[in-house]
Structures are given as C-alpha cells and as structure tokens.
Chains A and B, each alone.
Chain A
C-alpha cells in the first residue's frame, strides 16, 4: 500500500517535471518560463530523494533554485527594457526542431529498450553526505580541485565580462 502511494507520487512528480519543462520550452512569457523551471528543478530534487541521494537533493535545491535560477531571472530582467511588461520569447524552426528532438527521443527510447540493463535496486544507501565527502577529498580529489579552480576562473571571468569599460581603471 505504501509503495503504491510512493509510486503514485513519483509518477505525479514526473508529469509535473515534464509539464513544466514543456512550458519552459514553449511558453510565451519569459518570467513564467523561469518559474516553470523552478517547478522542474524541485521535481528533479524529488527524484534524487527517491534515489536515496539526500545530499544531492539538498544541493539541487540550494544551487539550482537558489543560485542559477536567481541568476537567470536577473538575466531576464536586465536584458529587457523595464517598461516592457510582456517579456515575449518567439520561436523559430518549430517543425525541424520538433523533428530533431523527436528523433533524439526515439533514439534514446530505442537504446533504453534494446539494452538489457540487468540492474538490481541496490537498496537505500542511507545518509550519503559522509561518504560523498570522503570520496571528494579521497578518490576524487583531483576533479574536485579542478572544479574549484574552474568555478573561480569562471566567476572572475564573468565579472570581468560585464564590467563597464572605462570605469574602475585606476
């Protein structure tokens, strides 16, 4: 009974994620698209919870919803004239785009169906933060350090790119 309710919630969240993702890519209003993206990110966080990835679910909410989405909303606001209340985003090449995306989807479904994954549910791994932390400073130390340096460079580069020319030069 409990597993049935949990499955129902899972598929409900799946519909929510795909529906809001669809709105993100076909919706006319940019701000509405950004808020639909919030729903999609939260839904993906719910998937992480179902997969037993508690730390990642938290990181997803904090970084995507708290960080990246705020950044995107700033992008929407700053790249439109402030009195332009209906922030529209047009679409081009709808038929070729739909065709390509449909082809990609068909290919992926075909691959998923034709491969025998032989995967067994390994069970709930329990709290993962400690093991992820140990992996990050152990086996995955080099990727971790490279990611930190990349983040630093990217943020400095972004600040450099949007700096107004002429101001701030001493």
Chain B
C-alpha cells in the first residue's frame, strides 16, 4: 500500500507549484488555475488523513465542502475578472493598478 507520507509529499509539491504560479503569472485566469491547484493539494491531504485514521470519514466531508468553496471562488473570481476586462480591456494583474494610492 502507498504510505501516508507519499500522499503528503505529492500534496506539498502540488501546493508549492500552485504558490509559484500565483506569485509569477501575470494573467488573472492563470492565477485562478494555480489557486485551484492549491485547493486540490489541500484536498489530497484531507482525504489521505481521513483514510489513515480509523473511522474518520469527516475528512472526506470536509473535502467535499472545500470543493463547494472552490466552485464559489471560481464563479466570483471569474465575474471580477470579466468586470476588470470590461473596464481596462486586459487581465494583466500588475497593470491593473488603478486603485493604487
């Protein structure tokens, strides 16, 4: 069987890749994709712990709620990106600095 640590390593690598994407991508939609990677890495951890702890199905319920939150986040964030595109005609995050003081 696959030991728990290997799931944790994969999840850690996925999380770091997501962090890298959030920090370096300029396109807002691409940043959203990286955030989805981070959500997935957290979910792997939750499900893995729920498997390796006896009778703890709560982790899977929690992962399900995380998926729901991810759907909300994607919908609202894409709506904001659309509004941004309508105003400034691009979705480059570091060029959208209109609110900068």
Contacts and interface: CB of A to CB of B under 8 A. Distances in A.
- Whether chains A and B associate is yes
Nearest to A147: B68
Interface of A: 3, 7, 10, 14, 17-18, 21-22, 24-25, 30, 33-34, 37, 40-41, 44, 47-48, 50-53, 55-56, 59-60, 63-64, 67-68, 71-72, 74-76, 78-79, 89-94, 96-98, 100-102, 104-105, 108-109, 112-113, 117, 119-122, 125, 128, 131-132, 135-136, 139-140, 143-144, 147, 150-151, 154-155, 157-159, 161-162
Contact of A74 (B53, B76, B78): B78
B30 A131 contact: no
Given A3-B1, A25-B34, A158 B78 contact: yes
Nearest to A21: B17
A91 B71 CA distance: 26
Contacts of B36: 37, 64, 68, 72
A122 B55 contact: yes
A79 B91 contact: yes
Interface residues of B, number: 71
Given A132-B64, A135-B58, A75 B17 contact: no
A97 B34 contact: no
A67 B17 CA distance: 22
A10 B70 CA distance: 25
B23 to A, nearest CB: 4
B75 A71 contact: yes
Contact of A56 (B16, B25, B64): B64
**Which of B24, B28, B43 is most buried by chain A, counting CB atoms within 10 A of its CB?**
B24
Interface string B75-88: 11011111101000
Contacts of A37: 33, 36-37
A107 B15 CA distance: 12
Contact of B79 (A22, A51, A158): A158
A94 B21 CA distance: 9
Nearest to B20: A101
Contacts of B70: 63-64, 68
12 contacts: A24-B33, A33-B30, A37-B37, A50-B2, A52-B51, A60-B67, A79-B91, A89-B27, A101-B16, A147-B69, A151-B68, A161-B82
Interface string B9-53: 110111111111101111111101110110010011001111111
Given A40-B37, A132-B57, A25 B21 contact: yes
Contacts of A96: 23
